[in-house]
């Protein structure tokens, strides 16, 4: 089987700071670097390094050649990525000494891509393949519906949280992944308890408190977070989701897949960076074996 990821491709500009700026405050950066990012690219790289065959659907602008090179170098197939005029999506990411971050995103090509070529590329997918989607592109609901009609499993990261996007996509979702803040936002916006959310499975990540798998009619599965020294939390949720998809695509049982994803995220937050910090399958398995 294969993991298809329809998602953003960004150029991330990182600024290391002593602390995150207060309103009106000007700070000198301690360091600066540029990396591949975007929730879609992050999840594609995470899934590929975790062992899945990954095909990315998305778009870059005229400045996107390096981003595509890095995706392909990570093992992600990119032949269906659209090349557009204008700018590739980008993000400004500020990270403090505790590893916490604040992020500003410009969508660029991620919101400008045409729907028809994406649907045409998805025609090669097989029943049982997985589709990863997030909220940083156009056409999420259309892709989710097309994937579900093909018998694919649709994994939706409802981030950045957008209630209208959630309403549009939820009818076509197999597995919804949210962090605790996003889950609270969804409950408040939709007026639903977690057990009333109309999806087969809901996964909630809670940082240092671990993650929960909530499947309709089944006991909750809770996996604790792996103890780790946190260097940079940017992309941790994407790492978890990509690794989870790779494990499920390899037919792992839910608890095993959650442990695998938790270990991947622990390794990722112990490093600097986003897509470039995604761990490889051997590293993830080694950590799991070490902490049994």
Active-site amino acid positions: 238
The pair of structure tokens assigned to 91 is 């993000």
Q: Which SS3 state, helix, strand or coil, does residue 71 take? A: helix
SS (H, E, C) 158-208: CCCCCHHHHHHHHHHCCEEEEEHHHHHHHHHHHCCCHHHCCCCEEEEECHH
Measured CA to CA, the distance from residue 92 to residue 34 in angstroms comes to 10
Summary count for the chain: helices (H), strands (E): 9, 15
**Cα–Cα–Cα angle for 228, 134, 46, nearest 5°?**
40
The pair of structure tokens assigned to 98 is 């505790």
List Cβ neighbours of 142 (8 Å cut-off, separation of 6 or more): 115, 119
Name the β-bridge partners of 165.
Answer: none
**Cα–Cα–Cα angle for 231, 60, 172, nearest 5°?**
80
- Please tell me the chain's helix, strand, coil percentages from 3-state DSSP, rounded to the nearest 5: 40, 25, 40
């Amino acid at each position: 089987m294969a993991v298809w990821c329809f998602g953003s491709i960004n150029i991330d500009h990182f600024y290391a700071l002593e602390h995150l700026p207060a309103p009106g405050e000007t700070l000198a950066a301690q360091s600066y670097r540029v990396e591949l990012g975007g929730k879609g690219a992050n999840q594609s790289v995470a899934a590929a390094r975790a062992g899945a065959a990954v095909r990315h659907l998305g778009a870059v602008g005229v400045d996107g050649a390096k981003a595509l090179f890095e995706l392909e170098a990570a093992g992600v197939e990119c032949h269906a990525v659209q090349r557009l005029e204008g700018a590739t999506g980008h993000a400004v990411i500020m990270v403090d000494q505790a590893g916490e971050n604040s992020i500003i995103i410009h969508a660029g090509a991620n919101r400008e891509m045409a729907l028809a070529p994406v649907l045409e590329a998805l025609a090669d997918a097989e029943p049982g393949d997985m589709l990863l989607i997030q909220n940083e592109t156009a056409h999420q609901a259309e892709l989710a519906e097309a994937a579900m009609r093909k018998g694919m499993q649709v994994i939706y990261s409802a981030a950045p949280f957008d209630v209208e996007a959630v309403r549009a996509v939820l009818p076509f979702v197999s597995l919804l992944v949210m962090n605790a803040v996003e889950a609270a936002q969804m409950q408040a916006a939709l007026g639903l308890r977690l057990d009333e959310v109309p999806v087969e499975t809901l996964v909630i990540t809670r940082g240092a408190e671990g993650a929960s798998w909530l499947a309709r009619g089944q006991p909750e599965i809770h996996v604790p977070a792996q103890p780790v020294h946190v260097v940079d939390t940017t992309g941790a949720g994407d790492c978890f989701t990509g690794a989870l998809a790779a494990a499920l695509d390899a037919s792992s049982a839910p608890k095993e897949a959650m442990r695998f994803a938790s270990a991947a995220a622990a390794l990722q937050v112990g490093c600097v960076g986003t897509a470039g910090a995604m761990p490889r399958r051997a590293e993830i398995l080694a950590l799991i074996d070490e902490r049994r």
